[in-house]
Chain A
Amino acid sequence: MSKILLHGTEAICEGAIRNGCRAFFGYPITPQNEVPEYMSVKMPQIGGVFVQAESEVAAINMVYGAAGAGVRAMTSSSSPGVSLKQEGISYIACARIPCVVVNIMRAGPGLGGILPAQGDYFQATKGGGHGDYHLIVLAPCSVQEACDLTYRAFDLSDKYRVPAMILADGMIGQLMEPVELPPMRNLSEIPEKEWATSGHYGKDRRILNSLIIKPEELEPHVNELQKTYDAIYAAERRFEEYRTEDAEIVLTAYGTVARIVKSAVNELRRQGIKAGCIRPITLYPFPDDAYAKCASRACTKAFLSVELSLGQMIEDVRLAVNGKAPVYFYGRTGGNVPDESEIIAAAKDALHKAEAAR
């Protein structure tokens, strides 16, 4: 199949549509407006539903209704809008309604700026809304992956009945790259949802609910959720590793930043410095084993987490490395993206500090 040139936002939409998404609810916010715009055209063409909601709050609750009725449903937004969706996401997580939420991150906090950032890592991976829950969080680094991971997010979400999030930065949204689109999936191939509230038609009636007021019932429910997260951790961690086998310094980043890091690793190698990198593809579950493996090697002197934030993923990296090597940080924020030379300098500095500390 031949490749076509697509924007990241279009690739996300196509990944969704081709895996059976037939309901989209959105609200305008830069830099993700191309998603609702694309869906407003495409959904009616394929017999799907598109509604421009009155707010992000309404949009996520429309997803609750549609996905609860058994339809593959999605919403997208950018950081401030995703904050508004957190209430709904928490309810969806508790009621175990599978769906996909896209966050094309912009710079925060507050209204912040509209340029790329990764400041929503904590919000995405640690719960975001109230209560004990997690999302499956996938972080694409290319337009192809934006399509593929959105496609996969629907299957993962259905399989575990856990909502999934595509966590992308503003660059992914705007970037155009060649994409090979997956074939359109036949809706009849998607397993029927035995729990969906779609009219009982003589069978036992079904309820989707996040109110479990008796403590003796809520605790087992939350424990059951946790068991699901444990199963997801066991089976779904994904990462990409690059030249780490003999690396003295292991850089790590996710999303488009990971690609700049990869360029930096190549340049460091050219300069004779043994560098490698790990790129988590799933941010939840976090691929901690990849870091642990590097940390256990004698050659690894230091880690460097590179982020468009002031240090969020680094906490998971540190937990994974578990004190076996120092973990340093380089980050830019406010919508600024570091270039190769900054990352190279930070890597050299980290290596230098680690060697001095030995």
Chain B
Amino acid sequence: MIRILLAGQGGQGVLSAGRFLAESGLHEGKEVSYLPAYGPEMRGGTANCSVIISQEEIASPLCNVPDVLIAMNAPSFHKFAPRVKSGGIIIVNGSISDSYAGRDDVKVYDVPMNDLAMEAGDIRSANMIALGVLVAATSAVQEKSIVNCLHEKFVGKPHVCEVNEAAFRAGMSQAAKG
């Protein structure tokens, strides 16, 4: 079982990245749950969602102690970094955040998501950079599952699909660099 917390600012594609992840897990025949945080904080503030992917039945859908944190901006990095499970992973958007978690029991991937996304063709694909890093670093789901989901979601928008797939692969290569 892997518990992933995705957090960032509204508009960064945090919730849609979470749904891609959950859909991909479902396609692989795994148990999944996706729980978006809702409330006034969704307006302009931070957006976050918890995704759990498991071989067995998922009991608690909560993600108070995530195995992996994807932090798309500095406030969510600082808010959630202390909660990550010891031995867990933090993937932080180095383009707009520092990466000092103040703890050495987690592995931090400092990834310039915005810059890589712009290289891939659209800053809005930063969320796919994050998923690329996640998949390469954890095998939470398979590469092809995410790609299939992208193709399904952006059917009829080949250019958007291309950019997002490029961003996803860029994220995967970035993870290999450590």
- Are the chains A and B members of one assembly? yes
A5→B23 contact, CB < 8 A: yes
Q: How far does the alpha carbon of A178 sit from the alpha carbon of B30 in the complex, in Å?
A: 9
B62→A5 contact, CB < 8 A: no
The 8 A CB mask of B29-73 against A (1 = contact, 0 = none) is 001111110111000000000000000001111101100000000
A5→B32 contact, CB < 8 A: yes
Residues of chain B within 8 A of A325, CB atoms compared: none
In the complex formed, the residue of B with least CB distance to A342 is B64
Determine if A263 is an interface residue (Cβ-Cβ < 8 Å): yes
B60 to chain A, nearest CB (A): 4
A259→B61 contact, CB < 8 A: yes
Residues of chain B within 8 A of A114, CB atoms compared: 38-40
Asked if A175 meets B35 with Cβ closer than 8 Å, knowing A256-B61, A337-B62, the reply is yes
B59→A174 contact, CB < 8 A: no
Question: Is the contact region of chain B dominated by helix, strand, or loop, or is it mixed?
Answer: mixed
B64→A339 contact, CB < 8 A: yes
B26→A31 contact, CB < 8 A: no
Among the interface residues B26, B35, B61, which one has the most CB atoms of the partner chain A within 10 A?
B61
B38→A31 contact, CB < 8 A: yes
Partner of B35, one of A30, A174, A266: A174
Determine if B124 is an interface residue (Cβ-Cβ < 8 Å): no
Asked if A5 meets B34 with Cβ closer than 8 Å, knowing A176-B19, A178-B26, the reply is yes
Determine if B170 is an interface residue (Cβ-Cβ < 8 Å): no
The 8 A CB mask of A244-283 against B (1 = contact, 0 = none) is 0000000000001001101100100000000000000000
Q: How far does the alpha carbon of A174 sit from the alpha carbon of B35 in the complex, in Å?
A: 6
Residues of chain B within 8 A of A339, CB atoms compared: 60, 62, 64-65
In the complex formed, the residue of B with least CB distance to A116 is B38
Q: How far does the alpha carbon of A3 sit from the alpha carbon of B23 in the complex, in Å?
A: 10
Asked if A178 meets B60 with Cβ closer than 8 Å, knowing A5-B22, A5-B23, A114-B39, the reply is no
Q: How far does the alpha carbon of A145 sit from the alpha carbon of B99 in the complex, in Å?
A: 41
Partner of A178, one of B31, B35, B61, B64: B31
Q: How far does the alpha carbon of A174 sit from the alpha carbon of B19 in the complex, in Å?
A: 12
B86 to chain A, nearest CB (A): 14
Determine if A87 is an interface residue (Cβ-Cβ < 8 Å): no
In the complex formed, the residue of A with least CB distance to B40 is A114
A260→B62 contact, CB < 8 A: yes
Partner of A174, one of B22, B36, B60: B36
Q: Using CB atoms and an 8 Å cutoff, list the residues of chain B in contact with chain A.
A: 19, 22-23, 26, 31-36, 38-40, 58-62, 64-65
CB pairs A–B below 8 angstroms (28 shown): A4-B26, A5-B19, A5-B22, A5-B32, A5-B34, A30-B38, A114-B39, A171-B61, A175-B34, A175-B35, A175-B61, A176-B19, A176-B22, A176-B33, A176-B34, A176-B35, A176-B36, A177-B58, A177-B61, A178-B26, A259-B59, A259-B60, A259-B61, A260-B59, A260-B60, A260-B62, A339-B64, A340-B62
| Ranked 4 nearest A-B pairs via Cβ | A176-B34, A263-B59, A263-B60, A262-B59
